[in-house]
Structure 1
Amino acid sequence: MSDVSRPSPAGVRTAAVIPAAGRGVRLGPGAPKALRALNGTPMLIHAVRAMAASRHVALVVVVAPPEGTAEVRSMLDAHALPERTEFLVVPGGASRQESVKRGLDALPPGYDVVLVHDAARPLVPVDTVDAVIEAVRAGAVAVVPALPLADTVKEVVPAQAPGEPEPVVATPERARLRAVQTPQGFDRGALIRAHETVTGDVTDDAGMIERLGLKVVVVPGHEEAFKVTRPLDLVLAEAVLARRRLNDGF
């Protein structure tokens, strides 16, 4: 296992990169997924507020759809956000990986911990964000929040056509599996190195760190950090917000 030097916790600063350039076709036609309204507020604003809610986060970089950069800047200006947090908007790329790389490239010096957070996870609680940051500050190179699986998982031979039966080849031990969420937290140097050297099909940034031979650790995730992907997820997200308003008064 490779090793990387870590900055001392004193004076460590944290930035968050939010890739928000995807179209989100599974939600149906309309605006890019991150710009869809959730309880009257764009999903992206909820995600930005979730990152800015942590007092550790001093900068949020939003990676916007290339044709929507000005719109996203105006959107951020139009919504109340914590004054202690700075914001940057940069145009995204053709893939999520390229968009995250552009967000990393826009980071000024002085940020040693970097979060990468899906705009489609707008309701992650601040305690989860802080747990990820604190684990990186304690020495971990890469940290992911995750939940145990409720369902049994089967490994199959993928069907050649939609609707065809798929033969099962294995049943992984559920106790050893986790459903990964975001924000994922990283030592900045390791994440930059991963984006400079790792190519191919990688579904998340932690997977890129694994390709480098570096250790990734898991901290507890939260059920409200689910990904809004399909129309039913929007209904669930509205219900979560309604419960929060009832419990917290806002």
Structure 2
Amino acid sequence: MTNTDSFSQMADDVTGTSPVASFAVVILAAGSGTRLGYGIPKAAVQHSGKTLLEWALAGVDASGVASRIVVTVPTDDTALTNIAADYGALTVSGGSSRAESVALALSALDNAPVRSGFSSDAPSHVLIHDAARSFTPVEVFHRVCQSLSSGQAAVIPVLPVVDTIKTVDADGYVRSTVQRSVLRSVQTPQGFHFKTLLGAYRQAEEQGLSDEITDDASVAEMCGIPVKTVLGDFRSLKITVAEDLALASALKLADELSAVSEKD
């Protein structure tokens, strides 16, 4: 079977999606955080008394969608493992790449404990979420899950691109201006039919395509699976450098002040 044939067959298999959706969540928290500059794994960095992993887990918990949670952490990181356990999550050591970490987490989902209040049935869908997007509002989780429940096989949250985007050559000269109206900035959680995504990652690894994977939706694209977009949220910024953490602090403070104002 050719690459195209195998991917087309995988796309056809999406029609087997269960009409009653259930969701597992994978949180990627094995990043080194070098660019953030704290000298510790990014997920262990503190913000307002909690680690970024704790904030991410708290957001998943508050969304009420996760029947099982798997967290990828740096090898032998006891502190992050204990934090994940407090939320009923299973941990696995991250791989050498994002794609490998996701594949390892997907393979471990069957062993993840079922969280209180959820069915022990195997999840029909999975959300892949970056711990670095620690303050993603619950509404984003809900929009992704609602779209999956309606029959979509792959769903990603996005925001319109507001800056002008240009392509530039190796010498720094502008070659073209990209039509902004068709561009979107992609966030997480990204949601998928579980068996389809697991199979897609296995196919990508077997066929040497793992290096081409820039996010989980790109795996679905390789398989010819339509990827639906839903509205993301500006608060779901990815914390990569120190300035991102400062911006996240400002946005969180604004949210808290707004909540107090509404109560008054």
TM norm structure 1: 0.89
Q: Distance in 2 between matches of 1:6 and 1:225?
A: 32
Is 1:19 the counterpart of 2:19? The answer is no
**Which AA in structure 2 matches 1:184?**
Q
Which of 178, 199, 209 does residue 220 from structure 2 map onto?
209
Q: Distance in 2 between matches of 1:244 and 1:126?
A: 13
**Which AA in structure 2 matches 1:149?**
V
Structure 2 unmatched runs, 5+: 1-7, 111-120
How far 1:29 moved relative to its partner? 4.1
Cα 1:127–1:6 shift into 2, 3 Å: farther
Is 1:88 the counterpart of 2:90? The answer is yes
Which of 2, 8, 13 does residue 18 from structure 2 map onto?
8
How far 1:244 moved relative to its partner? 2.6
**Which AA in structure 2 matches 1:138?**
S
2:144: which partner in 1?
Answer: 132
1:122: which partner in 2?
Answer: 134
Is 1:171 the counterpart of 2:183? The answer is no
**Which AA in structure 2 matches 1:96?**
R
CA RMSD of aligned residues (A): 1.6
The residue matched to 2:255 in structure 1 has which SS? helix
2:80: which partner in 1?
Answer: 72
**Which AA in structure 2 matches 1:52?**
D
Q: Distance in 2 between matches of 1:144 and 1:77?
A: 27
How far 1:48 moved relative to its partner? 1.1
Which of 247, 253, 256 does residue 242 from structure 1 map onto?
253
Q: Distance in 1 between matches of 2:228 and 2:133?
A: 20
Q: Distance in 2 between matches of 1:185 and 1:27?
A: 27
Which of 143, 152, 171 does residue 155 from structure 2 map onto?
143
Q: Distance in 2 between matches of 1:56 and 1:22?
A: 25
How far 1:173 moved relative to its partner? 0.8
**Which AA in structure 2 matches 1:59?**
R
Identity of counterpart residues, as a percentage? 38
**Which AA in structure 2 matches 1:170?**
S
1:56-67 alignment to 2 at 5 Å? Answer: 56-67=65-76
Q: Distance in 1 between matches of 2:237 and 2:224?
A: 28
Q: Distance in 2 between matches of 1:194 and 1:77?
A: 29
Q: Distance in 2 between matches of 1:194 and 1:52?
A: 27
**Which AA in structure 1 matches 2:148?**
V
Q: Distance in 2 between matches of 1:241 and 1:54?
A: 17
1:232: which partner in 2?
Answer: 243
How far 1:246 moved relative to its partner? 2.3
Is 1:30 the counterpart of 2:39? The answer is yes
1:52: which partner in 2?
Answer: 61
**Which AA in structure 1 matches 2:91?**
V
1:156-167 alignment to 2 at 5 Å? Answer: 156-157=168-169, 159=170, 165-167=171-173
How far 1:203 moved relative to its partner? 0.9
The residue matched to 1:130 in structure 2 has which SS? helix
Cα 1:77–1:189 shift into 2, 3 Å: closer
How far 1:155 moved relative to its partner? 1.4
Is 1:182 the counterpart of 2:192? The answer is no
Is 1:17–1:61's contact at 8 Å kept on the other side of the alignment? yes
Structure 1 unmatched runs, 5+: 160-164
Q: Distance in 2 between matches of 1:153 and 1:71?
A: 41
